[in-house]
Amino acid sequence: NPHPPNLMFPIIILALWGILMTSSICLRQTDLKALIAYSSVSHMGLVAAAIIVQTPWGLTGAMTLMVAHGLTSSALFALANTNYERTHTRTLLLVRGLQLAFPLMSTWWLLTNLTNMAMPPTINLLGELFIISTLFNWSTPTIIITGMGTLITATYSLYMFLMTQRGSISTQFQLLPPTHTREHLNLTLHLLPLGLLIMKPAL
């Protein structure tokens, strides 16, 4: 191992602590784009920890999760923008019940949020499993932090979906322009590679 364990230890601890902190911040976010941005930081904490451990499994998991999260986070920002273009606000409390106005877009929201929390059979799950296994092999107690991080990720992903899609829609948002084919194509091109890459991750 090229890195002495005494130098690795504090950096990995900081990366793991960052996962918990940024995930927890997501639970208190009122701005949709800020929530997605902090979600990215949380996932990159896992990647940073895996890279520093310097094992083949860790590096494989880091590479896989970076590709997976690049597509997932981009899809979430695209979805947030489709909301913003129509409602002109990013505040979660103001815009609710969009499933009634855009049922197909609501399907994209659900699939992307499930992918963000590492739903099988996406490569997000593969990357996270590799990284969590690597960290567990490096030090057993890390399973507590990575496990809590996974739990909080699932919580804020469902929170994001429920806040934007469920509930009753405000009367000021009932005459919204419809979604366009280009937006659905954009999201298809994000989520299709995530579904297909698991068949041949070597690509």
The pLDDT assigned to 176 comes to 83
| CB proximity list for 49: less than 8 A, separation 6 or greater | 12, 15, 16, 19, 131, 135
CA distance 83 to 164: 9
**Domain residue extents for the chain:** 6-170+178-199
Q: How far is CA 100 from CA 57, 76, 191, in A?
A: 44, 19, 23
Single-letter amino acid code for the residue at 181: T
Provide block-wise average pLDDT over 10 residues at a time, the chain (203 residues): 69 93 93 95 95 93 95 96 90 87 92 94 93 94 95 95 87 80 95 90 73
Average pLDDT, the chain: 91
Say if residues 198 and 97 touch (Cβ distance below 8 Å).
no
Residue 121 backbone phi and psi in degrees, to 5: -105, 35
Task: Compute the distance between CA of residue 12 and CA of residue 44 in angstroms, rounded to an integer.
Answer: 12
Compute CA distances 106 → 38, 60, 62, whole Å: 22, 33, 30
pLDDT digits (tens, 9 = 90+) for 11-36: 999 999 999 999 999 999 999 999 99
CA dihedral angle for residue 196, residue 197, residue 198, residue 201, rounded to 10 degrees: 150
pLDDT at 4: 56
Name the residue with tokens 């197909």.
Answer: 104
User: How much is the pTM?
Assistant: 0.91
